[in-house]
């Protein structure tokens, strides 16, 4: 029994309506994102440290010019060490601190306040904190003979 033109159009319209009600899903497999490799190696770093309201920046002495502003987070233990060492400094506050500490550093990503930095740093141990000299934190260490 042949179907009439009207039956065909009604069937076609029904299929369109039902098909439109179904959510469209992609048939392709989602791309597999490779997570950034996180280096958990603790290393010693030396450089300048700025701290204060909405700032916690570290500029390493040996970092390349385009990778020299890292956002710092201190572990609870390192925070206590820093505050204890700062309490021993009798000089007036300066525009920063010269530091030597142990930390892990993340991969290069926009970091810190407003994404201005290039890495995140987790400080685990403070070795030395002193007021930032006028020559900067990275001047050669003079040894007397």
pLDDT of residue 144: 41
In this predicted model, what pLDDT tens digit does every residue of 17-38 receive, in sequence order? 555 555 555 565 555 655 555 5
Whether 16 is covered by a domain: the verdict is no
**What is the C-alpha separation between 18 and 141, in angstroms, rounded?**
77
Q: Determine the Cα–Cα distance for residues 94 and 141; give it in Å rounded to an integer.
A: 20
Kindly state whether residue 105 falls inside one of the protein's structural domains.
yes
In a domain, 22, yes or no: no
* Residue 77 lies inside a defined structural domain of this protein: yes
The residue range of the domain holding 125 is 43-131
Classify residue 59: in a domain, yes or no.
yes
58 contacts 116 by C-beta, under 8 angstroms: no
4 within a domain of the structure (yes/no): no
* Cα angle, residue 141 at apex, residues 139 and 144 outer, rounded to 5°: 140
Domain count, the chain: 1
Q: How many CB atoms lie within 10 A of CB 72?
A: 23
Could you tell me which residues are beta bridge partners of residue 9? none
With a cut of 60, say whether residue 141 has pLDDT above it: no
In a domain, 6, yes or no: no
Burial zone of 98 (CB within 10 Å; 0-12 exposed, 13-18 middle, 19+ buried): buried
Q: Per the domain annotation, does 11 fall within a domain? A: no
CATH number of the domain residue 48 falls in = 2.40.50
Task: Give pTM, 2 decimals.
Answer: 0.67
**pLDDT tens per residue, range 96-111:** 899 999 999 999 999 9
Structure confidence at residue 79 (pLDDT):
93
Report how far residue 7's alpha carbon sits from residue 53's, in angstroms, rounded to the nearest whole number.
74
38-88 pLDDT, tens digit per residue, is 567 899 999 999 988 888 999 999 888 888 899 999 999 999 999 999 888
Residue 48 has what pLDDT? 94
């Amino acid at each position: 029994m042949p179907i009439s033109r009207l039956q065909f159009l009604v069937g076609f319209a029904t299929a369109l309506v039902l098909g439109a009600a179904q959510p469209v899903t992609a048939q392709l497999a989602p791309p597999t994102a490779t997570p950034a490799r996180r280096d958990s190696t603790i290393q010693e770093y030396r450089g300048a440290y700025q701290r204060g309201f909405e700032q916690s920046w570290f500029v390493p002495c040996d970092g390349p010019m385009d990778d020299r502003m890292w956002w710092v987070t201190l572990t609870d233990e390192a925070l206590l060490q820093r505050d204890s060492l700062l309490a021993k400094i009798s000089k007036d506050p300066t525009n920063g601190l010269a530091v030597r500490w142990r930390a892990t550093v993340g991969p290069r990503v926009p970091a810190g306040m407003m994404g201005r930095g290039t890495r995140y740093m987790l400080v685990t141990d403070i070795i030395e904190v002193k007021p930032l000299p006028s020559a900067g934190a990275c001047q050669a260490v003079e040894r007397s003979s």
